[in-house]
Homo-oligomer: A and B are copies of this chain.
Amino acid sequence: MSERASIRDVAVRAGVSPTTVSHVLNNTPGTRTSEKTRARVHAAAAELGYSANAVARALRTRRSDSVGFVGDEIATTPFAGKLILGAQEVVRQHDGVLLVTNTSYDAELENREIRELLSRDIDGVLYAAMYHRVVTVPASLHAAPVVVLNARTNDDRSWVSPDEYAGGEDAAQVLIDAGHRRLAMIGNADPIPAASGRPAGFLARAAAAGIPSEDVTVVYVSPTAGHAAEAAMRLLDRPDRPTGLFCFNDLMAMGAYNSARRLGLRIPDDLSVVGFDDLAILSAAVDPALTTVALPHLEMGAWAAEQLYVEIAARATGQPSPVRHAELRGEVVHRASVGSPPR
């Protein structure tokens, strides 16, 4: 273990001082070193398999090349993994490392974790929510660069969230493209951004396609498969039923699937269904596989990490943090639940 080479070892082997080794290996701007010496240093470092001790460096430079990822729940959705992965790819390019913590919606725990991160001189934090909502960044983070991920905030901080409106538009477009002219949406009655954005986009696109407003229905229910099933039952159990149905999320689409089955409606022959979220495990496994609007988790994670590095760099040069916001559009994943309208 302890046989790791230090900068002194490299210096001795190259016949120079540690200062020079540091300058050469870091390409420190404003320093000069002859080509010959540079070569000797590089050779010595390579022979010893030297790589700088990140802890020592962090102590001196007050920069640890590590960023914290504080999430509210990491265990129950596959979303967390995608957010983390997207962020990680960017962090890796910066030779950094991700410190992941989970707060379980527990404010006290969150503060303890944040202290723990701060005591490690992290360069910044990604403050992530597992579903799109409005968060407030804890006061303990006031001094650190922070980007809010998969959420928005009223604090003066950068954030990135899904473009819910565009998602609603895209869902409508899928149905319209398939030829549907009688549409419905089972929405979410909760007061969260997605619950208003998705139907707004859906309605707008339907209107833009010239579908009369009496031919597109939106109902709002509690976001469970059970409530969605009831809503679908009411929506579908009549002769002039919609032929294209957009559900607030994939889980609710499963409720619609069940109701359709009970009513003897085949998907996609009698009814086309579009979901939201792209819970891949679920939507690819059911029969028929569910066409759905994916959430751009990978992209959001990457965007947030990029932005965080921008803010970290700004702070390093003493400039104010450039606050930015983004709403990213998800892609439609075409599977088998959408077809032409009946007859």
Contacts and interface: CB of A to CB of B under 8 A. Distances in A.
Interface in A62-81: 62, 64, 66, 69, 74-78, 80-81
B78 A97 contact: no
Contacts of A53: 59, 119, 121
Contact of A101 (B58, B97, B112, B298): B97
Interface extent on A, as a size class? 35 or more
A280 B99 contact: no
Interface stretch (A37-45, A190-198, A281-289): A281-289
Interface string A207-224: 000000000000000000
Copies in the complex: 2
Contacts of A287: 254, 257-258, 261
A315 B279 CA distance: 43
Contact of A59 (B2, B55, B69, B82): B55
A51 interface: yes
A75 B78 contact: yes
A137 to B, nearest CB: 15
A282 B280 contact: no
A82 B77 CA distance: 10
Given A74-B81, A281-B281, A51 B119 contact: yes
Contacts of A101: 88, 97-98
A59 B85 CA distance: 29
A139 interface: no
Contact of A285 (B1, B116, B254): B254
Contacts of A52: 119
A22 interface: no
Interface string A95-134: 1011111100000000011011111110000000000000
A264 to B, nearest CB: 13
A92 B111 CA distance: 13
Contacts of A74: 81, 84-85
Contacts of A55: 55, 58-59, 64, 120-121
A307 B74 CA distance: 22
A120 to B, nearest CB: 5
B102 A99 contact: no
A247 to B, nearest CB: 12
A251 interface: yes
A78 B285 contact: no
A225 interface: yes
Most buried by B among A80, A81, A98, A102: A81
Contact of A98 (B82, B100, B115, B286): B100
21 contacts: A2-B62, A54-B116, A56-B59, A59-B59, A74-B81, A75-B85, A76-B280, A84-B100, A88-B102, A92-B113, A95-B116, A97-B99, A97-B101, A98-B101, A99-B99, A99-B100, A225-B285, A254-B285, A254-B286, A254-B287, A279-B281
Given A76-B78, A78-B281, A97-B116, 10 more contacts: A52-B119, A66-B120, A69-B100, A75-B82, A76-B81, A78-B81, A251-B281, A258-B287, A279-B282, A281-B281
